A = this chain, B = another copy of it.
Amino acid sequence: TRGEMAKSTQLIDNEVFRAYATYAAIVLLKMMLMSLITAYFRITRKAFVNPEDTESFGKGESAKKYLRTDPDVERARRGHLNDLENIVPFVGIGLLYALSSPELSTALLHFRIFTGARIFHTFAYLMPLPQPSRGLSWAVGYSVTFSMAYRVLKTVWLL
């Protein structure tokens, strides 16, 4: 059974799976970056939501004025939530797709377009760029995930 173990962990030797691992890690790290961006805006704009977060600015009323919303903080938070809504399906469906034995070149195309679209989406949201920049980059990422799901369902049902 030691041999079987070794084999079962060799998924990482598969080229498509390795491509998946690379791009899934990159988009998840990009999503994690949104926490730092939100924290940066909260601290520089002094806009917090939890009373205990403002205590270092003084006690009582003087700290209370920092319990407020700020447009930049809210914008970063919306970008973060949009990442969750779109990167979670990519990571889940992408894993199944990577296991459905697609061509490496096709898989790379899917992973790279999605990753590029989501990085552009974040810039479009934070700067912000005029529409339809953000809308189009969202639609590109959405379509890539949809295309992978189609391939997964086709593979599973035809086997």
Q: Which A residues form the contact surface with B (CB < 8 A)?
A: 1, 4-5, 7-18, 21-22, 24-25, 28-29, 31-32, 34-35, 49-50, 52-53, 55-56, 75, 78, 80-81, 84-86, 88-89, 91-93, 95-96, 99-101, 128-131, 134, 138, 142, 145-146, 149, 152-153, 155-157, 159
Residue pair B9, A11 in contact (C-beta under 8 Å): yes
Smallest Cβ-Cβ distance to A80: which chain B residue: B85
Partner of A52, one of B53, B88, B130, B142: B130
Q: Roughly how many angstroms separate A11 CA and B8 CA in the complex, as a whole number?
A: 5
Q: How far does the Cβ of A99 sit from chain B's closest Cβ, in whole Å?
A: 5
Partner of A31, one of B32, B89, B100: B89
In the complex, what residues of B have CB within 8 A of residue A88's CB? 28, 31, 84, 88, 91
